[in-house]
Amino acid sequence: MNKAIEVGIIMGSQSDWPTMKEAAKILDELGIAYEAKIVSAHRTPDRLWTYGKEAAGRGLKVIIAGAGGAAHLPGMMASKTRVPVIGVPVQTKALSGVDSLYSILQMPKGFPVATMAIGAAGAANAGLMAAGILAISDPALAVKLDAWREALSASIPDEPSDD
């Protein structure tokens, strides 16, 4: 039987996928079931509305939302659902993602978005943050996440090398 989808990865455009794939990779590594969808705040507002309205009822536990530029998707999604939203500022060419970061970060009181770093590292960390949230109530996942973190620490050499 397929595992129930617990995480929704949404993004404003196909062009965000190379970044958002980093979140998906982490979820794959940890065996977390997710879906990936293009949901644009500006180009497909009805899709955003429906996704937000149905998210909790469909059993989603975390939403990872990535967008660039006038990055309204994470904040609008947080306005529409109580499911925790983790925002990923996608790196833009014109303003290097600072525009995306500020668009996502400065939410008004009442509708939080957990905002990650700009770009690929932020997307990967969004996957890890989602895993940490799910691990609170999933002991098997907690064990896997601890092992993942330990493996990363063990991979860091004691000393720098010239190679």
Considering beta carbons, is residue 16 or 22 the nearer one to ligand RP5?
16
CB of 132 to ligand RP5, least distance (A): 25
- Residue 157 burial (C-beta neighbours within 10 Å; 0-12, 13-18, 19+): exposed
Nearest 5°: the CA angle 79, 88, 46 is 40
- Please tell me whether 82 is known to bind a ligand: no
Checking DSSP bridges between strand 62-67 and strand 114-115, what pairing results, if any?
Answer: unpaired
The residues that touch ligand RP5, with contacts defined as CB under 6 A, are 12-13, 15-16, 40, 42, 67-69, 90
E strand map for the chain: 7-11, 34-38, 62-67, 85-89, 114-115
Checking DSSP bridges between strand 85-89 and strand 62-67, what pairing results, if any?
Answer: parallel
CB of 60 to ligand RP5, least distance (A): 20
CB of 159 to ligand RP5, least distance (A): 39
Considering beta carbons, is residue 13 or 125 the nearer one to ligand RP5?
13
- Please tell me whether 137 is known to bind a ligand: no
- Please tell me whether 149 is known to bind a ligand: no
* Residue ranges at the known binding site for substrate: 13, 16, 43
